[in-house]
Structure 1
Amino acid sequence: MAFLELKNIKKSYFLGQQEFPVLKGINLDFDLGDFVSILGESGGGKSTLMNIIGGLDRNFEGSVELQGQALDHKKEKALDKYRRETIGYIYQSYNLISHLNVLDNVLVSLEMTTLSKKGREQRAKELLHKVGLGEQMRKYPNQLSGGQKQRVAIARALASDPKVIIADEPTGALDAQNTKEVLELLNQIAEEGRLVITVTHSEAVASEGTRIVRLAEGQIESDERIKDAYPLQDKEMIGSKKLSRMAAIKNAFKHFKYNIKHNSLIILGTSIGLFSVVLFAGLGNGVGGYMGDQITKVANPQVMSVSRYVKDSDQSQFADTEDSDAPAISSAQMEQLKKQKHVKSVEGSYNIANVDVKYNNQTQKMRIAQNWTAADSTDSVKYGHAPTKAGEVLVDKKTIAEKFNKDNYKDIIGKQVDLSYQTMDKNKQLVMIKMTATVSGIADSQKGMAINAVNTDTLVKAMQAANVETDPQSVSVKVDDLDNVTPTAEKIDSLKDNKNQIFKSQTIQSLIKQIQTYVNLVTTILSTIAGISLLVSALMIIVTMFMSVSARTKEIGILRALGESKKDIQRLFIAESLITGVLSAVVATGIAFLAQNGINGALKNIADYAFIQISTGNVITAFILALLISLLAALLPARRAARLNPIDALSAD
């Protein structure tokens, strides 16, 4: 039984409805140890026959049998395995991969074997020494002569230890000396017990083998044995396997590295869009954090503001005034609030306006003042202390203290001042409220909002003395723990009187959340603008990948001939696109962090706060976006590459 048999092979090409037969019923058998030359003129069907034997051409009539088993040319995976395990190709035009050096060109085939990494490298080097290129391993194909390129092609064909070597005009582009050396190598290969099939139009080349099959006009003209086949050698063959994902990634990286200048421009363009997204997200984090920080500096987050519930009202923690039409909170209702679980204290909140402050025969006006409660933060007190004792008042640095004494404004601490303002009493009559208080401290908000606060007992007693209503329109409810603020607020909001809601609470967290919503809205708008540049980046990658497929068409054909599958080709281009995406994300985040440091440093004189805060989540988002963009951008080009006909790809210029 022959090792390889061709039975009644017929092949035609069609131009419209017109048929052009190329092979007209070829019957041949081949044995291991033979060096068979298929001799014929151009157009006689030699290359077509070679593609059928090599498992590249699937559209023909007849059958190819390997050790008595017919190959199913309808099963592409089976043909991939056949080429990977059985066939080695040597081409007239060498078909080396230009971006790989000599050693890597041989390793491409070895990556589909069961040898270890060390074993693959050792075999590749041994083969290159065998063909006389031991000193040329690190050179690229464009640095080699024609004879040297053909030797690399021979080493690559032998790398995976195939039983069949197909050589398509292997000496057609070589001079006499190189032709002689290549033919000697082919005889040595046959002598090792392999089947060598050479396609040639040279009688001299054909006569160097063991058998000549003459092909003319698609038919066997003669089959002549000129010497005995070489005796078979019993040796263990190298096992084969599918190309691993890691090997595809490594091959993609080699091409990426070879074209680093071109790819750097693509990375730069892609990273600009990603940089914008990361920077704007960091800006949103910083601004949102800054707003929350400023609020918590003037208000204790463990304290909530509670007012009477009014249907369809929009009540703000800082909008309640003494003259508001909102109903007041009675003493009984304050006691009801004090009894709630986790509530530590309940204090009435009072806002007063246009307060005259007299000190040292001068009068200054507090446009807005309030009573000091647990809701207030001591962060705003820069000198002295908060007015926690009866008869104390906290004054603002710029609007009060410095107005009295610009150079020695701190001298007012510990001094008594007279406070007075007008309001309505219980009878709706205009009355003057007066009180004397000791300045306990000076506040400086640094945010353009004056902070003046009177001790609660001092203010309430003055109001009572003037017959002014002291039931507050809102109260500050302090909770025992920050984690209990929201549940307690929900509980207070659920309290009812005759099925009607009594209270409406507002926490610092809800206020911060509302502000963050607006910040997020602005950030989203900015990110959408950045998204446009991301779209441009995606289009750039798509165009680049399509161009890469076109430029590497022959490489695709070579890889398919070596046994790589459609999936392997698809992985190659997707991997290269993903490498671009990952490196773009790395560059983008690096630039974003540099910009963060620069901008925050420049704004430090305005406010000692990091207005741009790039989080780990922002960085992860950038990488996810980069991977998604590069993956989606690569799908169509990679699919196109995988669907290329190997024969057409190999014939591309």
Structure 2
Amino acid sequence: MSEKSQPLIELKNISRHFSSGETTVKALDNVNLSIYPGEFVAIMGQSGSGKSTMMNVLGCLDRPTHGSYQIMGTDVSNLSPDELAALRRQTFGFIFQRYNLLGTANAAENVEVPALYAGLSRTERQTRAIELLTGLGLGDRCDHRPAQLSGGQQQRVAIARALMNNPPVILADEPTGALDSKSSEDVMDLLKKLNAEGRTIIVITHEEEVAAHAERIIRIGDGKIVADNGTKPENEQTGSTRQSHSKLTGGSIVGETGEAVRTALRALRVNFFRTTLTLLGIIIGVAAVITMMAVGNGSKEKVLTQISSMGTNILNIRPGAPGIRNSGDNATLLPSDAQAISDNISNIEAVVPQRSGKKTLRLGNIDASTTVEGVGHTFPIARDWEVEKGTFFTEADIRSYAAVIVLGATAEKNFFPYGDDPIGKFILVGNIPFEIIGVMKSKGAAPWGGDQDDTAWVPYTTGLVRLFGSNYLNSITVKVDDVAQIEQTEADITALLKERHQIENFNVRNTASFLEMATETQNTLTVLLGAVAAISLLVGGIGVMNIMLVSVIERTREIGIRMATGARRRDIMIQFNTEAGVVCTIGGVIGVLLGFFAGYILSLFDVEIAFSTGPALLAFVCAVGTGLLFGFLPARKAAHLDPVVALSSE
């Protein structure tokens, strides 16, 4: 047999059986058929005769149950799904009865689809698509969507798409079934012209008028060929039917991803409301992560700053055994303990005995409950707290039990709301008058809560005798000279007090340990807030998966069209995974902006906010990662659809 008589398509003993419950339907039953290059073949049959199954097998959309199917000498029975996709892409152009155009794409974009999977650049695709549409009389309709075109125009777009990769075989399934007589005649003239150019045309039809245009008519009934008016083994145009775009073996991942992004944006625009609902979950999740982490970090920084403001070289001695929580109302620490520490321990800059309690202060017709602290004269040195007005009391005031008082900034505002000078005025603490000799600078909130400035200070000797009625202290504050030796100083103080008390009924802590404890606590809080926000992001991701699963179901026919035009499983995976990624990327960007905006709004209400790039970047990456992760299953489901099943979906 000469090269010219080599069949282009050859079916040997092909059967295609379908199971319906316990019944086996033989759609094709032991069919033998050879089609040669350049033929114009019409396969005729009534509904249920097996002609559509024949087309699906011929176009590699379906696999035969039994038999051998060869295309240009290659047996396709053992080819993988992706190899079959490549074969469809290079060999066949499909023209469907219902056109099967993508509703979200315009005419030119529909025509470009096969070339996308063949690897043509975007410029080449656009140029060729416009050329084909112009040649078919649709040059002025390139930017029109299918809904804006008539039936005949849509079928011409479908023909242009079939010609995009210049395939040697055109498979037309009832190409005139949905057209009027004039449009039907135009389509058949086009097919005859394509055949005259050397292409092999195979038309599936049940209409005698359509079949009459073919040079060879094959009739099929009950899955068998019942009539065949002859073959065309010799054809002068055989050589011209070879694929002129044989170099196109598939698109690159980068190119396909770029096109997938554009397709995704089109699909998202079409389903705007559903897209908005999907985005909402991601936006809320990302914004929650950023805002909550900013609140957590702001709170942490505030507490640490407040503790640090006390100094990291402070030792605080309180009554009660170590590890036992004590309110301080315990006759354990005495003023003499403070004096002993000052006299016997080195590396000490200041020792401040302290006793405090809530007292009512009165000035004229103003009274307020304020914390009153009895402290030593070195209190400003120990706490690095400056006097803003007047002076602090002296050691002489301590020894003389002077009735003098220093106000905090808030206390001053409470009793002198109009800005009067408080120095030299007398204020009642309980029923005892104290002369105001100074006002401390504002310090703000305390690490443990409350307003540090809503305080008044008196000599501890005066306080113990005239205000508190007892001789024990709430605490002793020790400022260490050399912080590098703070642990040794702490040990020395512990040993001294144990020797004096004969029992360890006190505990010594340094501000470094407070700082460490506060850091751990705030870190735990921040992690908790982040976990709550991450759950929001997870819920958003599940929403993406649900929406993408719905999208796969709704767009099953589109998936079938893409597979018929040469899309591999990888291409479908990229398409749907990209759509999920695009949704989450857009949601992530909006979420980041919303998170920063929400943090800014909270800051206006005196909520401490500390933004950092880490949480924002992490939230955005997690959003995109969530989209890809939760988009994988829907994408995989789409990629593993059977082309012929997908195409038959409504």
TM-score (norm 2): 0.78
Cross-structure match for 1:582 = 585
2:478 is paired with a residue of what secondary structure?
A: strand
One-letter amino acid matched to 1:208: H
Query: Among 100, 113, 131, which residue is 1:126 paired with?
Result: 131
1:188 pairs with 2:197: no
> Would you say the 8 A contact 1:22–1:45 is kept in 2?
yes
In the TM superposition, residue 440 of structure 1 has moved relative to its aligned partner by: 5.5
In the TM superposition, residue 143 of structure 1 has moved relative to its aligned partner by: 1.0
One-letter amino acid matched to 1:160: N
In the TM superposition, residue 132 of structure 1 has moved relative to its aligned partner by: 1.5
Structure 2: how far apart are the matches of 1:124 and 1:368?
87
One-letter amino acid matched to 1:648: V
After superposition, what is the alpha-carbon deviation per residue over 1:31-71, rounded to whole angstroms, capped at 9, x for unaligned?
33332222333322211111112111124211222332211
In the TM superposition, residue 177 of structure 1 has moved relative to its aligned partner by: 2.2
2:118 is paired with a residue of what secondary structure?
A: coil
Query: Among 238, 241, 250, which residue is 1:241 paired with?
Result: 250
Cross-structure match for 1:263 = 275
Structure 2: how far apart are the matches of 1:166 and 1:160?
14
1:410 pairs with 2:417: no
Structure 1: how far apart are the matches of 2:281 and 2:570?
29
Cross-structure match for 1:376 = 383
Distance 1:613 1:191, change over 3 A: farther
Cross-structure match for 1:224 = 230
After superposition, what is the alpha-carbon deviation per residue over 1:563-598, rounded to whole angstroms, capped at 9, x for unaligned?
223333233223222322222233333333333333
Distance 1:20 1:512, change over 3 A: closer
Distance 1:202 1:310, change over 3 A: same
Structure 2: how far apart are the matches of 1:334 and 1:4?
109
1:611 pairs with 2:608: yes
Structure 2: how far apart are the matches of 1:402 and 1:228?
107
- Give 1:152-191 correspondences, 5 Å limit: 152-191=157-196
> Would you say the 8 A contact 1:600–1:610 is kept in 2?
yes
**Stretch deviating more after TM superposition (513-522 or 325-334):** 325-334
> Would you say the 8 A contact 1:12–1:22 is kept in 2?
yes
Query: Among 40, 47, 53, which residue is 2:52 paired with?
Result: 47
In the TM superposition, residue 146 of structure 1 has moved relative to its aligned partner by: 0.8
Query: Among 4, 8, 18, which residue is 2:9 paired with?
Result: 4
- Give 1:525-536 correspondences, 5 Å limit: 528=532
In the TM superposition, residue 195 of structure 1 has moved relative to its aligned partner by: 2.5
1:599 pairs with 2:584: no
Structure 2: how far apart are the matches of 1:68 and 1:334?
107
One-letter amino acid matched to 1:224: G
2:637 is paired with a residue of what secondary structure?
A: helix
> Would you say the 8 A contact 1:115–1:238 is kept in 2?
no
Q: CA RMSD in A?
A: 4.6
Query: Among 402, 407, 419, which residue is 1:396 paired with?
Result: 407
- Give 1:453-602 correspondences, 5 Å limit: 473-477=476-480, 504-507=509-512, 509-510=515-516, 512-513=518-519, 516=522, 519-520=525-526, 523=529, 528=532, 537-538=540-541, 540-601=543-604
Structure 1: how far apart are the matches of 2:305 and 2:627?
38
1:643 pairs with 2:648: no
**Stretch deviating more after TM superposition (129-138 or 11-20):** 11-20
In the TM superposition, residue 617 of structure 1 has moved relative to its aligned partner by: 3.2
Cross-structure match for 2:631 = 634
> Would you say the 8 A contact 2:374–2:459 is kept in 1?
no
Cross-structure match for 1:108 = 113
Structure 1: how far apart are the matches of 2:193 and 2:596?
61
In the TM superposition, residue 411 of structure 1 has moved relative to its aligned partner by: 5.1
In the TM superposition, residue 400 of structure 1 has moved relative to its aligned partner by: 6.7
In the TM superposition, residue 27 of structure 1 has moved relative to its aligned partner by: 2.3
Residue ranges of structure 2 left out of the alignment (5+ in a row): 1-5, 399-403, 446-450, 466-470, 499-503
Structure 1: how far apart are the matches of 2:120 and 2:547?
35
1:305 pairs with 2:278: no
Cross-structure match for 1:198 = 203
One-letter amino acid matched to 1:598: I
2:372 is paired with a residue of what secondary structure?
A: strand
1:82 pairs with 2:92: no
In the TM superposition, residue 145 of structure 1 has moved relative to its aligned partner by: 0.7
Distance 1:287 1:399, change over 3 A: closer
Structure 2: how far apart are the matches of 1:531 and 1:358?
52
2:47 is paired with a residue of what secondary structure?
A: coil
Distance 1:506 1:557, change over 3 A: same
Cross-structure match for 2:38 = 33
Residue ranges of structure 1 left out of the alignment (5+ in a row): 339-344, 422-435, 463-467, 604-608
